[in-house]
Amino acid sequence: MKQAGEITVLLRDWGAGDPAAVEQLFELVYPQLRKIAGALFRGEHPENLLQPTSVVNELFLKLIRQRSLRFEDREHFYSLSARLMRRVLVDHARSEGRQKRDGGIPVPLDADMAWIKARPAEMIDLDRVLEELEQLDARKCRMVELRFFLGFTAEETAELLNTSKATVDREMRFVRGWLSDRLQAS
């Protein structure tokens, strides 16, 4: 988060049509996004076609393809990045054509995780439940995306959402329970 001001300036320049801003932004945020994506693949089989670099690259391709992309601030950028990474993972899971899970292994949502380690079918279930959560409370959905899909700490999430760490902690306790109930029901 130490380059927060620089990220915001580059986002505004990008929105104004400066092509150099996209390259500078990519260089600035790529290491963090790559590290986060790398956490997803720890313990995965090496034959997995989807790799951390490809997730981040696909994220940036999706961002660049947007025609009228305007970011208000870092929070907006990281929220959209989390959403697009989630889409990449769900699209990949769907393309594998796996059967839905049979209720065997629940998706873990503990506080120590930077990424949700889920099999493709579980990722599809999680995406469906997160869409429900977004309809009920978009801010809580942003928290989940920032915390679990981008691996932000509670402090970083609070800063981005302009709230306190205590609020993030309290709301995440509620969301974990709600998600767990919804996932077990499916």
Query: Over 60: is that where the pLDDT of 180 sits?
Result: yes
Query: What 3-state DSSP class applies to 25?
Result: helix
Q: Tell me which residue has tokens 């989390």.
A: 82
Alpha-carbon distances, residue 136 vs 29, 32, 57, 130, 178 (angstroms) = 30, 30, 31, 10, 11
Q: 0.85 exceeded by the pTM?
A: no
**Residue 22 CB neighbour total at 10 angstroms:** 18
Query: Would you kindly state where each structural domain of the chain is located, as residue ranges?
Result: 4-185
| pLDDT tens track for 40-58 | 666 555 555 667 788 888 8
| pLDDT tens track for 121-174 | 677 788 889 999 999 999 999 898 888 777 788 998 998 889 999 999 999 999
pLDDT score at 81: 81
Average pLDDT along the chain: 77
Determine the average pLDDT of the residues in 174-178: 90
Give Dmax over CA atoms of the chain in angstroms. 50
Q: How far apart are CA 58 and CA 65, in angstroms?
A: 10
Q: Which two tokens stand for residue 111?
A: 């506080």
Q: Is the dihedral of CA 25, 85, 71, 142 positive or negative?
A: negative
pLDDT score at 103: 45
Query: Over 90: is that where the pLDDT of 95 sits?
Result: no
pLDDT score at 186: 65
Provide the H-helix boundaries in the chain: 4-15, 19-40, 52-65, 74-95, 120-136, 138-144, 154-161, 165-185
The letter for the amino acid at 139 is: R
Determine the average pLDDT of the residues in 23-51: 73
User: Which range (4-8, 36-40, 131-135) has the least confidence?
Assistant: 36-40
